Amino acid sequence: MNIKGVSQTNINAYHNVSRKKIENKQIEGVKDKVEISEAAKTLQSYGIEELKDNTKRIEEIKKQLTNGTYKPTAKAISRAMYNVMKGKDF
C-alpha cells in the first residue's frame, strides 16, 4: 500500500476551489444602476416636442402637395441643395 502525505499541490488545489467560491459570491452581490438626471429628462422632452412639430409640418406639406398648392421659396430650395451637397441634415 502506498500512502502519500499531504503535499503542497493538494493544499493549493483546495485553496483554489475555495477562492473561486468566494469570488463568485462577491460578483453576485454587485449590481449596476443607471439614473437619468433631471436635466437629461428635460432635454429628452424637448426632442419629443420638436418631433411632434415636424410631424405637423410634414402633414401640412403633404396636403399642399396633393392639392397642388405647395410653392417652396427659392431660398428654401437653395438651402436644401447646399445642405445635401455638404452632407448636412436639413
Predicted confidence at residue 78, as pLDDT, reads: 93
* Chain CA centroid to CA 71, Å: 39
The per-residue pLDDT for 75 is 94
- Say if 61 falls within a structural domain: yes
Contact 88, 81 (CB under 8 A): no
Residue 42 lies in a domain: no
| Amino acid code (one letter) for 78 | S
Residue 79 lies in a domain: yes
In a domain, 70, yes or no: yes
Cα first-last separation, the chain: 88
Q: Determine the structural domain holding residue 84 and report its residue range.
A: 54-89
6 grid coordinates: 499531504
pLDDT reported for residue 44? 77
Per-residue pLDDT tens digits of the chain, which is 90 residues long: 566 665 555 556 655 666 666 565 655 666 778 888 888 888 777 766 666 777 888 899 999 999 999 898 999 899 989 988 988 765
Q: How far is residue 40's CA from residue 88's CA, in Å, rounded to a whole number? A: 25
DSSP letter for 82, please: H
Count the Cβ atoms, other than its own, within 10 Å of residue 26. 8
Structural domain count of the chain: 1
